[in-house]
Homo-oligomer: A and B are copies of this chain.
Amino acid sequence: MKKTIILEKEEIELKNPILIEGLPGLGMVGRIAVKYLIRQFKARKFAELYSPHFAYYVLVDEKGNINLLKNEFYYWKNDLGENDLILLTGDSQAQTIEGQYEVADATIEFAKKKGVKLVITIGGYRKDVVGTPQVFVSATSPETLKKALDAGAISSPPGSPIVGAAGLLLGLAKFRGIEGICLLGETPGYIPDPRAAKSVLSILMGMLNLRLDLTDLDREIERIAQIEEQMRRIEEQRRMAEREIRKMEEEKISYIG
């Protein structure tokens, strides 16, 4: 494999499709959100992207099977609305600068061929979160930006960089006459963060005028909260043990003294 390729598994016709990207990144916000959309909408895979710029390993799945790292394109026919969806997620982002540009370029070219006029990318925004995570938005034009602001997102602070696929896809989309929106959910970023993904999905559903049951995501949030709580408890026990040991040592010293 000398360069990035996209293999179409199924020839499909889509109605004014919107591309929504969620690849691995900070807090896995994008990937969690898009995978959730795929599951809830029962979206179908129709294309795979392979690239020599992905990490040079393969992953073993639950059945002991081996697969090249890849990105995957799913579609969902939105019979009640104006826009079908193309959902993009995957195992990896490109590992080099030039690779990032090549993969984003191949993706936008493919989107253009499929008739995409709007690309929405999802990612995380590193921040200590108080209460419900906020969603920061930026876009390729003021009109597009307004749609996200109207749905309750906050404008991204000027000068802030959007790193990787979530940023480059939009830069390259604009470059080829496609509109784009970036939604970043606040996240501490050190573990997978379904809460941030939920915040982003709420905004997204408002923007696209879609309904989505978030119950399963709540379950995931609960599970992660338990893991965090466990980690906190273990940490506290460790500290208590340390304090205990120090106290014993001090008493020993006083005793000797």
Contacts and interface: CB of A to CB of B under 8 A. Distances in A.
Given A52-B102, A68-B174, 6 more contacts: A1-B105, A58-B162, A58-B168, A59-B161, A64-B158, A66-B162
A58 to B, nearest CB: 4
Given A61-B158, A105-B2, A172-B1, A182 B66 contact: yes
Interface of A: 1-2, 50, 52-69, 95-102, 105, 137-142, 145, 155-164, 167-168, 170-172, 174-175, 180, 182
A57 B67 CA distance: 29
B97 A96 contact: yes
B160 A60 contact: yes
Contacts of A174: 66-68
22 contacts: A1-B102, A50-B175, A52-B102, A52-B105, A53-B98, A56-B164, A57-B162, A57-B163, A57-B164, A58-B171, A59-B162, A60-B160, A64-B138, A65-B139, A66-B138, A66-B162, A66-B167, A66-B170, A67-B171, A68-B171, A68-B172, A98-B99
A69 B141 CA distance: 16
Nearest to A105: B1
A97 to B, nearest CB: 5
Contacts of A162: 57-60, 66
A118 to B, nearest CB: 13
Contacts of A145: 63-65
Contacts of A156: 60, 64
Nearest to A98: B52
A55 B97 contact: yes
B97 A99 contact: yes
A162 B66 CA distance: 9
Contacts of A163: 56-57
Given A98-B96, A140-B65, A172-B1, A157 B60 contact: yes
Contact of A140 (B66, B98, B105, B180): B66
